[in-house]
Amino acid sequence: MLDLARIGGLLGECKPGHTLPQDLYNSPEVYRFDLQAVFAGTWLLAGFSCEVASARNYLALTLAGSPVVLTRGMDGVLRGFHNACRHRGAQVCPDGAGRRARLTCPYHQWVYDLEGKLVHARNMQPGFDPAGHGLRPIHVREVAGAIFVCLADEAPAFERFRAELEPLLAPHNLGNAKVAYENTLLERGNWKLVMENARECYHCATGHPELCLTFPIDDLGDTMAQGGNAHYDAFAARVRANGLGIGPYFGPWWQIERFPLKAGHLSLTIDGKLAVNRLMVDADTADIGSLRWAVEPHSFCHSTADQTVYFSAMPIAPNETVVTCKWLVHKDAVEGVDYDVERMTHLWNVTNMQDRDLVENNQRGVNSFGYVPGPYNGADESYVKRFIDFYLDTACRYVSARAGFEP
Amino acid sequence: MLDLARIGGLLGECKPGHTLPQDLYNSPEVYRFDLQAVFAGTWLLAGFSCEVASARNYLALTLAGSPVVLTRGMDGVLRGFHNACRHRGAQVCPDGAGRRARLTCPYHQWVYDLEGKLVHARNMQPGFDPAGHGLRPIHVREVAGAIFVCLADEAPAFERFRAELEPLLAPHNLGNAKVAYENTLLERGNWKLVMENARECYHCATGHPELCLTFPIDDLGDTMAQGGNAHYDAFAARVRANGLGIGPYFGPWWQIERFPLKAGHLSLTIDGKLAVNRLMVDADTADIGSLRWAVEPHSFCHSTADQTVYFSAMPIAPNETVVTCKWLVHKDAVEGVDYDVERMTHLWNVTNMQDRDLVENNQRGVNSFGYVPGPYNGADESYVKRFIDFYLDTACRYVSARAGFEP
Amino acid sequence: MLDLARIGGLLGECKPGHTLPQDLYNSPEVYRFDLQAVFAGTWLLAGFSCEVASARNYLALTLAGSPVVLTRGMDGVLRGFHNACRHRGAQVCPDGAGRRARLTCPYHQWVYDLEGKLVHARNMQPGFDPAGHGLRPIHVREVAGAIFVCLADEAPAFERFRAELEPLLAPHNLGNAKVAYENTLLERGNWKLVMENARECYHCATGHPELCLTFPIDDLGDTMAQGGNAHYDAFAARVRANGLGIGPYFGPWWQIERFPLKAGHLSLTIDGKLAVNRLMVDADTADIGSLRWAVEPHSFCHSTADQTVYFSAMPIAPNETVVTCKWLVHKDAVEGVDYDVERMTHLWNVTNMQDRDLVENNQRGVNSFGYVPGPYNGADESYVKRFIDFYLDTACRYVSARAGFEP
Ligand code: FES
Ligand code: FES
Ligand code: FES
Ligand SMILES: [Fe+3]
Ligand SMILES: [Fe+3]
Ligand SMILES: [Fe+3]
């Protein structure tokens, strides 16, 4: 029951290079639109192959309020489904990971196989067609140990993204990873404010004293790292010598690039030392900087030699967003021996909480009767503009396909 | 401020024999529509005569967010009113039962008699007409100790329902009952999901191990019990010998039928033994099965020889419903002697909590982007279809009477 | 995204001399309308000069969900701004009082001077115009130590109000006051029900036993005090002899009048004795009654010889309102010596909590399906009618200016 004329009108008011009009940050109707038009229409970075590694494993999770389940069949193939029973719509698998030969709905025990086929529906009437009532599939792709899903009937093109990500990410060996830790944080702000925050470091110098110890905030601009200096050139030579690509690659909904940390630092930790002794990358040095790979509209990852950190923002209300973080390490790394969870997670935990405060303060100001869209910083907020451009493109395409006018 | 065109459009999308479209289960606008079109337009089972037994007793309660008060006048007649002062609308009686000669508004002390007449309005201006400012009446009916109310100006026909219920319910002697216990449960699901759950036992075999000890789930179908076997025939002969009717009676908004429990069981308790030693029914045996009487869209009761258990679901938010249960026993039954509250309530308490979990899981799945209406089971969900048919009939009638089109 | 046609329709249903239609008290859309049309378009009593007394002081607060900041410049002039950064809209100053030479946004450190001018915006692109990105001003007026703000682009006329308030309030010497205590109370009722409650004493006799000890509830009517009796005449002579005006003055959005307390009482306290030994008024007696000055749609104050008590209601949700109270005393009064906070605040604290219960009960009744607008009491609720008239005038003017029709 979306009023696309009204929403299209709002989209039409957007001013290039500026933050969005107020209603786009706090109206309940826009919130429902965003879920449908943006989250349900694009590729999302749902998780990692290691979370559903073997035949019969499943992983159930809720994306933008919508439950999905990923299964690994006996054929080793990963498949995805809307996690809603075709009988009366109950959630078939509880959120979380597990192992099952069949998926049985907890309500009336309709049974689906791992390919989504309905194999048993107790006592249904003659004329009922099981073949028409399998779990509805979603699009799934695995790339070098990362899982991407799209909930739309027709998914956007994926192959250029795969071609750009795979060579850079593969050496990080996520296929042999495990999730060493995972947590969530509630932010009382619109999801777009969370993502604008996550897409710039203009606030880092004062906002993130800990992150700035290792993160090269002075070098950020149109890409994550500026070449043409000795530090960068040494980094580039070193990683190339280890067969690691650099990028950068920018697509309509992704950014992929390897960049150097501040000199002498090996990982995104408080002290720049490794978080994990057991490396994930097979290289003759751990000094390979970080591979940042980000997927609009909700996520980014940093892959250093020792770990991959995953960040994903999911809207749960017009002014509430849940951020999920995961820390992936080599599956043979031993907690307490090769890594310490507290030490490994400290930097991103403090950084995320600092960002939460900034986002919530941003939301308060955006609610002002006096709020007007303001200009992005051309250099320091170029990734925010990418995010906003993606949001507006996606939203306008949705409206024009359905409402017959161009916002 | 309901947009009936939009809601009518949704109603028009409903597919016979299938669950409802997603918006009907979770849109805030449909929630407000349901209160107005469905709850405020039909007969509701509000409570029991014994809760407002004598002259000067009152019972105040909130139905679908709307406060009402029932009073027993000096003439013994039960009357009902919207519990909103005709001055500035304050709630006149606090929710609960009590005894008063007059109803005095707590805000500015306007005084109403038990027939709703405004008898004092302090210091009102000349020209103010007290006769035009009595409490607004609601429709009230008493049937064999049960109280039915309708909040609409014009109530649906009642007499066929009375004619069918009264003979079957009267022997249960609710006029001499008391409420031995009452509790409420919050379910985070749309009220229609709560009621669909309450109208079928397709989920009982796995969902309600305790209930299945006494409840004849294998015999359920188009009615609560299938004849043509020795167990049923013996039950039928026994209850008829005691002058007890069986039914079944199905009306547009009710179902009434007596059915046998599993062999050897006398009451809906964990062990099938009586919950109360003092019987309510005057019969030569307690082995009379259960009289199920249900009123759309919100309630059902089970009357066994010893007790009547009442279940009522009330929406409080789009995805929140409060379930109220009452256990009625003979008014002379003594707690601790004739019945034990813990033992008496155990079966329905566990059953309701199991249903709460099923409903909340159902709601999560219905929220899926991939949710599509699914087919009801012709045999096991025939009562769910009755509920849905009642809902759609009532909703469509409301829309067509006001918006001038047939959804 | 307000639907002014719908809201205008509701306004058109209002019946003179009666409470409002139900939707005006509980629809989410009307709530958003009220913020925009009423709170953002009128003069609000935001606080007191003593809260931002000297050059470089600031006071930040949230009015109707919208953050504002008041600053005192080096020139001693008080200015007000929307407290939303012109970059990405973050709240620049946290709510509360403080002292700063510049206002620096906590997000990316854009710096504004105390006149709102943007004086630094780190690293912004060539072509960015700082002059066009100062904090957006709001209208501010100081009257005898009270601060009034208006968030609209064009503020309603102020001068007649100033001319009427200033002579009566000036002797209370608020310029030399301090806020001795401040608290807030959440009321689960629409803000208009809170204000209707605050604008009448028809409920005082039974609702406020403590307040009635000192408050002359029997004398209330078209003004706060009826003349023509010995008590009033003596009061009038006494205050005039001290050069104190009486009024009354009624404007479209204000009421100002001095009235006597019950005989023998000096202040609005439980026992009628002074709350503060150090007086604020320079008079030969403390027996000067109370100056009530009230500003629609949200506030009233009582200024007795010893203190000024401030009451302000702010909507935070359709059915939630926060009431803020402040107690102002002479700045040289010493806590524990000249006044005791518990004793000083007791009367209004109990009164406010009694009103909270009345308002919440009122809201419950107004939610009834049977609610219909009821008649105000001509004498005892004349100030409620003023409030409602102001509300409807303001709301209708907003609609007719924007939607092109008269509700
Ligand atoms: S909802 Fe899944 S089996 Fe009924
Ligand atoms: S609201 Fe009931 S007397 Fe005023
Ligand atoms: S939002 Fe204030 S400096 Fe960026
Ligand atoms: Fe940050
Ligand atoms: Fe059940
Ligand atoms: Fe009061």
Answer yes or no: is pLDDT of B221 > 80: no
Q: What is the dihedral of CA C219, C225, C228, C233, to 10 degrees?
A: 120
Q: Which of B41, B95, B49 is nearest to B72 (CA)?
A: B49
pLDDT score of B223: 80
Q: Whose CA is nearest to atom 4 of ligand 1?
A: A108
pLDDT score of C294: 98
Average pLDDT of the residues of chain B: 96
Per-residue pLDDT of chain C (407 residues; tens, 9 = 90+): 788 999 999 999 999 999 999 999 999 999 999 999 999 999 999 999 999 999 999 999 999 999 999 999 999 999 999 999 999 999 999 999 999 999 999 999 999 999 999 999 999 999 999 999 999 999 999 999 999 999 999 999 999 999 999 999 999 999 999 999 999 999 999 999 999 999 999 999 999 999 999 998 877 777 887 888 899 999 999 999 999 999 999 999 999 999 999 999 999 999 999 999 999 998 999 999 999 999 999 999 999 999 999 999 999 999 999 999 999 999 999 999 999 999 999 999 999 999 999 999 999 999 999 999 999 999 999 999 999 999 999 999 999 999 888 88
Q: Whose CA is nearest to atom 3 of ligand 3?
A: C108
Ligand nearest to the CA of A207: 4
A276 close to A306: Cβ distance less than 8 angstroms: yes
Average pLDDT, 10 consecutive residues per value, chain A (407 residues):
90 96 96 97 98 98 98 97 98 97 98 98 96 98 98 97 98 97 98 98 95 86 81 95 96 97 95 97 94 98 98 97 98 98 97 98 98 96 97 96 85
pLDDT score of C227: 80
Q: A353-375 pLDDT, tens per residue? A: 999 999 999 999 999 999 999 99
A-chain residue closest to C129, CA distance: A375
B367: nearest CB among A66, A94, A106: A66
Mutation choice for B interface testing from C364, C366, C372 by most B CBs within 10 A: C364
- CA B187 – ligand 1 centroid, Å: 18
Cα distance from C83 to chain A (closest Cα, Å)? 7
pLDDT score of B226: 80
Q: B11-67 pLDDT, tens per residue? A: 999 999 999 999 999 999 999 999 999 999 999 999 999 999 999 999 999 999 999
B105 close to B134: Cβ distance less than 8 angstroms: no
pLDDT score of A217: 84
Are A375 and C40 in contact (CB < 8 Å)?
no
Structure-token pair, residue B372? 């599509």
A362: nearest CB among C107, C122, C151: C107
pLDDT score of B217: 84
C368: nearest CB among B84, B107, B109: B84
pLDDT score of A258: 97
Name the phi and psi angles at C199, rounded to 5: -105, 15
3-state DSSP of chain C: CCCHHHHHHHHHCCCCCECCCHHHHHCHHHHHHHHHHHHHHCEEEEEEHHHHCCCCEEEEEEECCEEEEEEECCCCCEEEEECECCCCCCECCCCEEEECCEEECCCCCCEEECCCCEEECCCCCCCCCHHHHCCCEEEEEEECCEEEEECCCCCCCCHHHHHHHHHHHHHHCHHHEEEEEEEEEEECCCHHHHHHHHCCCCCHHHHCCCHHHCCCHHHCCCCCCCCCCHHHHHHHHHHHHCCCCCCCEEECCEEEEEECCCCCCCCCCCCCCCCECCCCCCCCCCCCCEEEEEECCCEEEEECCCCEEEEEEEEEECCEEEEEEEEEEECCCCECCCECHHHHHHHHHHHHHHHHHHHHHHHHHHCCCCCCCCECCCCCCHHHHHHHHHHHHHHHHHHHHHHCCCC
Among C81, C102, C110, name the best residue to mutate to test ligand 3's pocket (greatest count of ligand atoms within 8 A of Cβ).
Answer: C110
CB pairs under 8 A between A and C: 97
CB atoms within 10 A of CB C370: 21
Are B365 and A133 in contact (CB < 8 Å)?
no
CB pairs under 8 A between A and B: 96
- Percent of chain B whose pLDDT exceeds 70: 100
Q: In this predicted structure, which of A214-218, A259-263, B289-293, B374-378 has the lowest mean pLDDT?
A: A214-218
Q: A326-351 pLDDT, tens per residue? A: 999 999 999 999 999 999 999 999 99
pLDDT score of C228: 82
Among A102, A103, A105, name the best residue to mutate to test ligand 1's pocket (greatest count of ligand atoms within 8 A of Cβ).
Answer: A105
Q: Does residue B88 belong to the interface with chain C, where contact is any CB pair within 8 Å?
A: yes
> Predicted confidence band at B224 (pLDDT cuts at 50, 70, 90)?
confident
Contacts of residue C373 in chain B, CB cutoff 8 Å? 89
Q: Whose CA is nearest to atom 3 of ligand 2?
A: B108
